[in-house]
Amino acid sequence: MFTRYRDIVPVARDSVAFSSESGGDREGGGTMIEDLPRSVGVGSVINMMDDPRHRALRRLVAPGITHARIAALEPVLADAARSAVDQAVRRGHGDLVSDIAAELPLLAIASLLGIPPQDRHQIFAWINAVLDYADRQLGETSQTSAQAMQQFMAYGHRFVEARRQAPGEDVISLAVTGELNDGLGRLSAVEQLMVFNVVMVAGLETTRNAIAGGVRAFIQHPEQWTRLQNQRSLIDPALEEILRWTSPTPYNRRTATRDVEIGGRLIRRGEKVTLWWASANRDEAIFEQPFAFDIGRPANPHLAFGSGGHGCLGAQLSRLEMRVVLNALLERVEGFDLAGDTEWVRSNKHTGIRRMPVRYSEASSQSARHGAVTGATEGRF
């Protein structure tokens, strides 16, 4: 286990000595990708591939997740966030996860991929069933979750096929029609399906947990909410602090391809190492007062999105989602309280919140007048 920032970064950056493919990212983690037969997952999924194929695949799909494509989603996502927050605040209380935090990531990914609106909730139900850790013992796959997995994969298969027939400019179309650089040919049918799978799954639970965990942090540190209400320009540093604080993906894994010394310890060829982003994000050598939730940190080089060649492809999209939700909450909510126990997801793969009952107190129109700060107008997210 690498837990220090200064040990984690060089390991994450050295994808030759530390492979994501050999042995895969995780085992028995109980997520959709790890629930696949190992022969399908490892080496076919972007986060479990090594260069040069990994780098070529990133280059192939990157034009589907450009800044401009993400910026174009902002009005739709901002509307959805306002309407979800409006309904929740009118009710006065409710489960923040299902009312607000779960909706946005689903809409964002579905819009990015061009998934028809009528299919979205079905897909979400499948993904929830697959990820339902309450329904199983650790390391097991329940029947419900196995069935949902099959149905989700079958849908993905049909979706990929439809893109092959009528390609657009989205990530999946690029994956099915494009050629990899450096004479590496086309993606196999399994690799194409895995692009669909990983984009759908990687962005849903992580961002949901960042949003729910962020609201929880503000509930526990109400002075930071007041500070943000009074100084909306802190929204960007606030997003970064939420990411640092929640660390929705606590760790990823690599396998050493040769003997290598890190931080005075010899890692032998074939040994597996885990990179604890969540721990690096609380490293006192890097962050002053790491256990303080402080939205005004002048520098915040957190590793919530990883580091190096496998760094998160969806970072800008999730920042946008978090931003529109925060803006919508700032417009309507003076403060919040927990209205019951928070239920956590039993997982070491996600810092996940399943349910979080929240009571809202409505903002007066005066505090709403500051207006939202948008990424588009500032040219960044």
| Beta-ladder partners of 359 | 93, 337
Residue closer to ligand HEM (CB basis): 126 or 277: 277
Shortest distance, CB of residue 332 to ligand HEM, whole angstroms?
A: 23
Q: How many residues bind ligand HEM (CB under 6 A)?
A: 26
Residue closer to ligand HEM (CB basis): 229 or 252: 252
Of all residues in the chain, what percent are helix, strand and coil, respectively (each to 5)?
55, 10, 35
- For the record, the structure tokens of 342 come out as 């928070």
The string of DSSP letters for 215-246 reads HHHHHH-HHHHHHHHH-GGGHHHHHHHHHHHH
How far is residue 234's CA from residue 294's CA, in Å, rounded to a whole number? 11
Q: Report the residue from 202, 212, 234, 320 that binds ligand HEM according to the rule CB under 6 A.
A: 202
Q: Report the residue from 18, 152, 159, 277 that binds ligand HEM according to the rule CB under 6 A.
A: 277
- Binding of residue 58 to ligand HEM (CB under 6 A): yes
- Binding of residue 203 to ligand HEM (CB under 6 A): yes
Residue closer to ligand HEM (CB basis): 312 or 376: 312
Q: Which residue stretch of 33-41, 196-204, 230-238, 364-372 sits at the interface with ligand HEM (rule: CB under 6 A)? A: 196-204
Q: Which residue stretch of 32-40, 89-97, 203-211, 263-271 sits at the interface with ligand HEM (rule: CB under 6 A)? A: 203-211
Give the three-state DSSP class for 354.
strand
Q: Report the residue from 20, 224, 229, 279 that binds ligand HEM according to the rule CB under 6 A.
A: 20
- Binding of residue 250 to ligand HEM (CB under 6 A): no
Q: Which residue stretch of 75-83, 92-100, 294-302, 308-316 sits at the interface with ligand HEM (rule: CB under 6 A)? A: 308-316
**Pairing state of beta strands 93-95 and 357-362?**
antiparallel
How far is residue 33's CA from residue 230's CA, in Å, rounded to a whole number? 43
Angle in degrees, 0-180, between the axes of helices 143-165 and 117-130, rounded to the nearest 10: 140
Q: Which residue stretch of 122-130, 245-253, 262-270, 283-291 sits at the interface with ligand HEM (rule: CB under 6 A)? A: 245-253
Shortest distance, CB of residue 370 to ligand HEM, whole angstroms?
A: 25
Long-range contacts of 84-87 (CB under 8 A, 24+ apart): 84/328, 85/325, 85/328, 85/329, 85/331, 85/332, 85/333, 86/328, 86/332
Cis peptide leading into residue 52 (ω within 30°): yes
Residue closer to ligand HEM (CB basis): 229 or 349: 349
Question: From the centroid of its chain, how far is CA 311?
Answer: 11
- Binding of residue 248 to ligand HEM (CB under 6 A): yes
Residues near ligand HEM, by CB under 6 A: 20, 25, 46-47, 58, 198-199, 202-203, 206-207, 210, 248-249, 252, 277, 304-306, 310-314, 317-318
